[in-house]
């Protein structure tokens, strides 16, 4: 078997050195009734590369790739172009096949890229400090809420009606398990208005999102002010990191914690994972942050170097008193993010954001101009919601027959909110004029 | 001196390897590389994008005021930046990486190739399910492998990493207790002192209280103490136990532990981090386990990526299966795969959703590719070779180092620092291994062994590689026993010397900031 270097002679000679008769000797502590005699039934035997490749390719062929034609699905994950260089960098063995940098003398490569990543995330979100990444945006959001409760020593968490429902669900789950109270505001397509009024003296944090799940961009400064007056924190969430090039970032709105999804920069769609959660906060909250942090220091020769730091917050030191149970971050996805961001630079990101926004503006004109279609999102970055005169599921199915993947039906995310005729639609720099024309033409036929 | 016909010397003169300063700051093949922010400019870019048309924006005034000011690099500069940084990393593709508890095995390249097929890499988690039937089938196939290998009836695929899988398991236990009407009373979770730190941290995240159990002299759960702690059963939620445990040993009394916990009305969470030692030879389902996470990035070879992404599918017993999280994949009578995404209908008892979307698909593709490559026969051999390699290392080193416990180990060999002379510590041995060209073993874990050194060779090392490693470690161990003070300065040959962690934590610098202009700094 190609991944196993030991030969039968090796095994025999090693057993002799050890003084064991066979590998069975090592399993003597296993209760007799649980020892399997033969290999496990019901699974195939080993196969060569060619056979495995055939099987996997067959499965892959049963999926419609986003690049295969007009594609307008967003709502938390976005089809962007990733430069070839990014994939080359993350396939370097030295990054791909190494562990968490626990031995910094031989991990400065990983550590320096994490330090650069943290600096980039802090600048993009306009926050003071960022961590070395989280699993994804939804878990970053959940961790932000419980961190706010830790900081304020309060137990009420208020979630906006524009927060991505998956983020809301993940946050509610973690908060309620810790005995916190979660208040979910009613669905808000066109802004986060209710959030401002909802804060009271028991509130640990309000969680707002801009652009929200319906694409609406909102200035949360008023929410921040109202939260701060009551001693609460603002957690500002985003699911589309490219928006940070153009839209008011969390730090400019007075957010205390920023939590978001970084997939859009450097990472492919991958059917939902792995992605990379971005997490940043104000400096004074730094020691309450979850996840890994990389910090600057010097080595014994006084040369600059980097190490994982403030680990006294973390589970491997603090065990039951840790700020979070998180161990792994999303290292390789963070590397993809930072590499792509390095290729873009600040100007490149701004330009990319403008291209996204313009594609969405043109799409909104093309679809919103159709008789019977209502554009529900008043201010947007690269996605918006439309209402169609026909049931959204039927519309999307017919669009699909015309070769257009037209978006996400809102009822898939909000099954109980009477949004059966609403579709969430996204455009990016990958969207062409032909794609937009194809969508508009097909939709016109359907309605 | 030997010369060729041009008069160029062709043999090397003998010179001292003493410190040679270079003007560039590079040292031969090891190129100096400053921070991105010191070499890039905001004007530079490594991508060519079309020019925006200049349409009127529809942001409604919600526009960024201050530019990020982030520097960019052209493509050749960016390639060199990351390539030079990569040279400062140790990696499994470069050499032996015996980091105990982390299972640093070979990461097959076929897995990478398959994960990049557009049919897997370029599909959106929310595109219509009719357009992703192959992806749903892949998740279903991987789920079948995991259930079959563990002998458990159900699996939740969405957890993003091992610790997230632990959270998944403990949330299911919490939900089951709530369903029994005992959510408020059963709060105590037993956790051995040898457990990974994530175990107690996870229990607390779920609102439980941790009750620590000692290890006995054989490195296993102290059964007398366990029985003592189960005198009162009304408040027992369950136990979190790693098996094989973090000392690299199989918990001999595991079935009795499961019986005791079940009799007390609690559930058995097994930390599956060390599944590599028993895959194909023992099914956790036969041991009385109620929930167990599986680290796809350990046992099933998905790359560690310098700290993630991981993937932690969690298997469940019949008792906990109804409470598993959404989403999950099911197969309808018409043969179509379908995602159950809401707490409703088929999932009415589910504890909810842990995460956006369906789990670490990119890792699923790699793990299934690995499983198909090894097959049922190969995976059994994986476990046996992993255990054989660890026992071989233990046998070769037990005369110079102090094994923490007697007898055979499973997939990792554990030593204490009892053999070292005063003043020489575990960290000195670890750092000396770096000079020998190896990644150190896990050090100071598990906590139940003084100055612990945990060596996990995995099955993907050859005997020759193990012999070379043992030769090196044997020599270092002898120096440690003799009190060789030079060990305190190791590593001498790494890209960096020992780093000052105290300084990093005292006044944390977590990002680059532009240095003050020199005229100001000088004042």
Q: Please tell me the total number of residues recorded for chain B in this structure.
A: 523
DSSP sequence for B60-123: TT-B--S-----B--HHHHHHHHHHHHTTB--TTTS---BTTT------HHHHHHHTSHHHHT-
Tally of structural domains, chain B: 2
Contacts of B32 (CB under 8 A, 6+ apart): B24, B25, B26, B84
Residues B359 and B428 in one domain: no
The shortest CB-CB distance from A129 to any of B305, B505, B510 is to B510
Instruction: Give yes or no for a contact between B198 and B273, defined as CB atoms under 8 angstroms apart.
Output: no
Out of B354, B369, B384, a domain closes at B369
pLDDT at B6: 78
Walk across the sheet containing B154-156 and list its strands. Answer: B154-156, B314-316, B291-293, B267-271, B236-242, B188-192, B209-213
**Averaged over B398-407, what is the pLDDT?**
97
Q: Is residue B73 part of a domain?
A: no
Identify all chain A residues contacting B162, using CB atoms and an 8 Å cutoff: 327-328
Residues B343 and B237 in one domain: yes
Please answer yes or no on whether A95 and B306 come within 8 Å at the CB atom: yes
Handedness of CA B277, B279, B284, B287 (dihedral sign): negative
Residues B358 and B479 in one domain: no
pLDDT band at B126 (very low <50, low <70, confident <90, very high): very high
Task: Output B194 or A394, whichever has higher pLDDT.
Answer: A394
pLDDT at B131: 96
Residues B417 and B455 in one domain: yes
pLDDT at B17: 54
Above 60 in pLDDT, residue B360?
yes
Residues B493 and B358 in one domain: no
* DSSP letter, residue B369: H
Nearest to A167 by CA among A257, A247, A99, A260: A260
Does residue B101 come out as left (phi exceeding 0), alpha (psi in the -120 to 50 range) or beta?
left
pLDDT band at B342 (very low <50, low <70, confident <90, very high): very high
pLDDT at B249: 95
Residues B165 and B263 in one domain: yes
Does residue B308 come out as left (phi exceeding 0), alpha (psi in the -120 to 50 range) or beta?
left
Q: Is the peptide bond before A300 cis (omega within 30 degrees of 0)?
A: no
Pairing mode, if any, of strands B453-455 and A422-426?
unpaired
Residues B248 and B202 in one domain: yes
Residues B311 and B326 in one domain: yes
Q: Which of A273, A313, A335, A349 to mutate to test the interface with B (most CBs of B within 10 A)?
A: A273
pLDDT at A223: 96
pLDDT band at A326 (very low <50, low <70, confident <90, very high): confident
Please answer yes or no on whether A34 and B91 come within 8 Å at the CB atom: no
Pairing mode, if any, of strands A294-298 and A304-308?
antiparallel
Please answer yes or no on whether B491 and A105 come within 8 Å at the CB atom: yes
Q: What is the pLDDT of residues B203-223, one digit of tens each?
A: 999 999 999 999 899 999 999
DSSP sequence for B446-461: STTSTT-EEE---TT-
Q: Is residue B106 part of a domain?
A: no
Residue B396, chain A, CB below 8 Å: the answer is: yes
Please answer yes or no on whether A342 and B78 come within 8 Å at the CB atom: yes
Identify all chain B residues contacting A414, using CB atoms and an 8 Å cutoff: none
Tokens for A371, please give them. 């008789």
Residues B381 and B299 in one domain: no
Residues B131 and B255 in one domain: yes
**Averaged over A4-11, what is the pLDDT?**
98
B330: closest CA of chain A, how far (Å): 17
pLDDT band at A311 (very low <50, low <70, confident <90, very high): confident
Could you give all domains of chain A from N- to C-terminal order, each with its CATH number?
Answer: 68-81+346-446 (3.90.1150.10), 84-340 (3.40.640.10)
B6: closest CA of chain A, how far (Å): 40
A436: closest CA of chain B, how far (Å): 16
Instruction: Give yes or no for a contact between A133 and A278, defined as CB atoms under 8 angstroms apart.
Output: yes
pLDDT at B520: 52
Q: Is residue B327 part of a domain?
A: yes
**Averaged over A103-114, what is the pLDDT?**
98
Q: How far apart are CA A171 and CA A165, in angstroms?
A: 10
The shortest CB-CB distance from A173 to any of B116, B286, B353 is to B353
Residues 174 through 213 of chain B touching chain A, CB cutoff 8 Å: 174, 196-198, 200-207, 210
Please answer yes or no on whether B78 and A85 come within 8 Å at the CB atom: yes
Identify all chain A residues contacting B72, using CB atoms and an 8 Å cutoff: 342-348
Q: What is the pLDDT of residues B14-34, one digit of tens each?
A: 666 556 889 999 999 999 999
Q: Is the peptide bond before B309 cis (omega within 30 degrees of 0)?
A: yes
Boundaries of domain holding B455: 376-499
Please answer yes or no on whether A332 and B303 come within 8 Å at the CB atom: yes
Q: Is residue B102 part of a domain?
A: no
Q: At what angle do helices B463-482 and A8-18 cross, to 10 degrees?
A: 30
Identify all chain B residues contacting A102, using CB atoms and an 8 Å cutoff: 99
Identify all chain A residues contacting B67, using CB atoms and an 8 Å cutoff: 346, 350
**Averaged over A295-305, what is the pLDDT?**
96
Residue B445, chain A, CB below 8 Å: the answer is: yes
Which helix (H) or strand (E) covers residue A162, if one does? none
- The widest CA-to-CA distance across chain B, in whole angstroms, is 93
Please answer yes or no on whether B59 and A381 come within 8 Å at the CB atom: yes
Q: Please tell me the total number of residues recorded for chain A in this structure.
A: 447
What radius of gyration, in Å, describes the C-alpha atoms of chain A? 25
Q: Is residue B72 part of a domain?
A: no
Q: How far apart are CA B354 and CA B158, in angstroms?
A: 7
pLDDT at B15: 62
Please answer yes or no on whether B58 and A28 come within 8 Å at the CB atom: no
* DSSP letter, residue A155: -
Q: Is residue B516 part of a domain?
A: no
Nearest to A237 by CA among A138, A307, A334, A151: A138
pLDDT cut 90: percent of chain B above it: 92
Q: What is the CATH number of the domain that holds B420?
A: 3.90.1150.10
pTM of the entire predicted model: 0.97
pLDDT cut 70: percent of chain A above it: 100
Above 70 in pLDDT, residue B523?
no
Triad B215, B221, B222: Cα angle to 5°: 75
Instruction: Give yes or no for a contact between B194 and B447, defined as CB atoms under 8 angstroms apart.
Output: yes
Residues 449 through 478 of chain B touching chain A, CB cutoff 8 Å: 459-463, 465
Residues B437 and B383 in one domain: yes
Q: What is the CATH number of the domain that holds B155?
A: 3.40.640.10
pLDDT at B11: 79
Out of B343, B369, B395, a domain closes at B369
The shortest CB-CB distance from A309 to any of B43, B171, B508 is to B508
What's the mean pLDDT when you consider all of chain B? 95
Tokens for A380, please give them. 């947007």
Identify all chain A residues contacting B377, using CB atoms and an 8 Å cutoff: 39, 45-46
Q: Is residue B515 part of a domain?
A: no
Residues B135 and B249 in one domain: yes
Above 50 in pLDDT, residue B521?
no
Out of B312, B344, B369, a domain closes at B369
pLDDT at B522: 45
Identify all chain B residues contacting A270, using CB atoms and an 8 Å cutoff: 120-121, 123, 361-362
Residue B30, chain A, CB below 8 Å: the answer is: no
Identify all chain A residues contacting B138, using CB atoms and an 8 Å cutoff: 56, 59
Residue B512, chain A, CB below 8 Å: the answer is: yes
Please answer yes or no on whether A63 and B495 come within 8 Å at the CB atom: no
> Which chain B residue has its CA at the smallest distance from A310's CA?
B505
Q: How far apart are CA A401 and CA B414, in angstroms?
A: 61
The shortest CB-CB distance from A297 to any of B137, B205, B500 is to B500
Q: Is residue B24 part of a domain?
A: no
Identify all chain A residues contacting B373, using CB atoms and an 8 Å cutoff: 2-3, 46-47, 49, 52
Q: What is the pLDDT of residues A350-373, one digit of tens each?
A: 999 999 999 999 999 999 999 999
Instruction: Give yes or no for a contact between A181 and A208, defined as CB atoms under 8 angstroms apart.
Output: no
């Amino acid at each position: 078997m190609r991944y196993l270097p030991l030969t039968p002679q090796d095994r025999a000679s090693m057993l002799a050195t050890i003084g064991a008769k066979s590998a069975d000797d090592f399993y003597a502590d296993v209760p007799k009734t649980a020892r399997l005699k033969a290999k496990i039934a019901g699974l195939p035997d080993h196969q060569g590369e060619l056979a495995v490749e055939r099987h996997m390719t067959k499965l892959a062929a049963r999926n419609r790739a986003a690049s295969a034609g007009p594609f307008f699905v967003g709502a938390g994950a976005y089809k962007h172009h990733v430069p070839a260089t990014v994939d080359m960098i993350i396939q370097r063995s030295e990054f791909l096949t190494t562990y968490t940098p626990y031995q910094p003398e031989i991990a400065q490569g990983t550590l320096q890229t994490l330090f650069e990543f943290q600096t980039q995330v802090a600048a993009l979100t306009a926050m003071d400090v960022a961590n070395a990444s989280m699993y994804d945006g939804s878990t970053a959001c959940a961790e932000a809420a419980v961190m706010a409760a830790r900081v304020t020593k309060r137990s009420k968490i208020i979630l906006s009606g524009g927060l991505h429902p998956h983020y809301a669900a993940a946050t509610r789950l973690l908060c309620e398990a810790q005995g916190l109270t979660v208040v979910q505001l009613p669905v808000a397509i066109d802004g986060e208005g209710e959030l401002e009024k909802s804060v009271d003296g028991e509130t640990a944090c309000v969680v707002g999102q801009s652009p929200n799940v319906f694409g609406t961009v909102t200035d949360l400064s008023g929410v921040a002010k109202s939260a701060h007056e009551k001693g609460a924190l603002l957690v500002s969430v985003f699911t589309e990191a490219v928006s940070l090039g153009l839209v008011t970032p969390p730090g400019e709105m007075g957010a205390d914690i920023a939590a978001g999804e970084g997939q859009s920069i450097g990472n492919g769609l991958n059917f939902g994972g792995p992605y990379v959660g971005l997490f940043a906060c104000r400096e004074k909250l730094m020691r309450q942050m979850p996840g890994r942090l990389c910090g600057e220091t010097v080595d014994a020769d006084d040369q600059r170097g980097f190490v994982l730091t403030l680990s006294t917050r973390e589970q491997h030191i603090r065990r039951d008193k840790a700020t979070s149970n998180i161990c792994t971050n999303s290292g390789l996805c963070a590397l993809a993010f930072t590499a792509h961001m390095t290729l873009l630079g600040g100007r490149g990101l701004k330009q990319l954001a403008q291209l996204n926004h313009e594609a969405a503006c043109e799409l909104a004109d093309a679809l919103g101009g159709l008789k019977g279609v209502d554009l529900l999102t008043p201010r947007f970055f690269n996605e918006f919601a439309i209402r169609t005169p026909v049931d959204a599921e039927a519309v999307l199915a017919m669009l699909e027959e015309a070769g257009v993947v037209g978006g996400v039906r809102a009822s898939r995310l909000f099954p109980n909110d009477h949004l059966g005729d609403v579709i969430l639609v996204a455009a990016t720099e990958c969207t062409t004029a032909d794609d937009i024309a194809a969508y508009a033409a097909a939709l016109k036929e359907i309605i | 001196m030997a010369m060729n016909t041009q008069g160029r010397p062709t043999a090397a003169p003998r010179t001292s390897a003493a410190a040679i300063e270079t003007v560039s700051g590079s040292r031969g093949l090891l190129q100096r590389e400053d921070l991105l922010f010191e070499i890039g400019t905001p004007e530079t870019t490594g991508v060519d994008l079309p020019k925006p048309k200049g349409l009127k924006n529809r942001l409604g005034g919600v526009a960024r005021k201050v530019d990020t000011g982030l520097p960019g690099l052209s493509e050749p500069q960016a390639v060199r930046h990351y390539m030079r940084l990569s040279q400062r990393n140790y990696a499994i593709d470069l050499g032996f990486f015996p980091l105990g508890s982390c299972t640093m095995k070979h990461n097959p390249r076929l897995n990478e190739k398959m994960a990049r097929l557009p049919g897997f890499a370029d599909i959106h988690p929310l595109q219509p399910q009719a357009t992703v039937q192959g992806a749903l089938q892949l998740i279903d196939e991987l789920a079948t492998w995991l259930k079959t290998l563990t002998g458990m009836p159900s699996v939740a695929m969405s957890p993003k990493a091992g610790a997230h899988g632990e959270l998944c398991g403990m949330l299911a236990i919490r939900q089951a207790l709530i369903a029994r009407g005992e959510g408020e009373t059963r709060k105590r979770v037993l956790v051995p002192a040898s457990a990974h730190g994530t175990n107690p941290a996870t229990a607390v995240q779920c609102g439980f209280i941790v009750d620590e159990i000692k290890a006995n002299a054989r490195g296993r759960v102290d059964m007398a103490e366990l029985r003592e702690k189960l005198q009162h059963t009304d408040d027992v939620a369950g136990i979190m136990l790693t098996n094989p445990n973090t000392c690299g040993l199989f918990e001999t009394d595991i079935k009795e532990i499961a019986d005791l916990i079940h009799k007390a009305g609690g559930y058995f969470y097994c930390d599956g981090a060390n599944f590599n030692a028993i895959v194909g030879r023992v099914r956790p389902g036969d041991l009385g386990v109620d929930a167990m996470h599986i680290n796809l990035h350990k046992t099933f070879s998905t790359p560690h990526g310098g700290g993630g992404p991981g993937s932690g599918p969690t298997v469940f017993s019949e008792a906990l299966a109804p409470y598993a999280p959404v989403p999950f994949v099911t197969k309808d009578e018409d043969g179509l795969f379908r995602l159950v995404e809401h707490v409703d209908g088929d999932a009415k008892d589910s504890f909810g959703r842990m995460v956006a979307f369906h789990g670490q698909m990119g890792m699923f593709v790699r793990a299934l590719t690995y499983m198909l490559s090894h097959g049922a026969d190969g995976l059994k051999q994986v476990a046996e070779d992993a255990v054989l390699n660890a026992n071989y290392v233990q046998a070769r080193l037990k005369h110079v180092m102090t094994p923490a416990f007697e007898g055979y180990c499973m997939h990792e060999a554990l030593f204490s620092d009892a053999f070292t002379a005063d003043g020489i510590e575990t960290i000195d041995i670890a750092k000396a291994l770096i000079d020998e060209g190896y990644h150190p073993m896990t050090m100071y874990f598990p906590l139940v062994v003084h100055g612990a050194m945990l060596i996990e060779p995995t099955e993907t090392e050859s005997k020759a590689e193990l012999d070379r490693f043992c030769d090196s470690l044997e020599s270092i161990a002898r120096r440690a026993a003799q009190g060789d003070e030079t060990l305190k300065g190791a590593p001498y040959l790494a890209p960096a010397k020992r780093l000052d962690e105290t300084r990093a934590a005292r006044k944390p610098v977590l990002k680059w900031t532009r240095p003050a202009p020199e005229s100001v700094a000088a004042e």
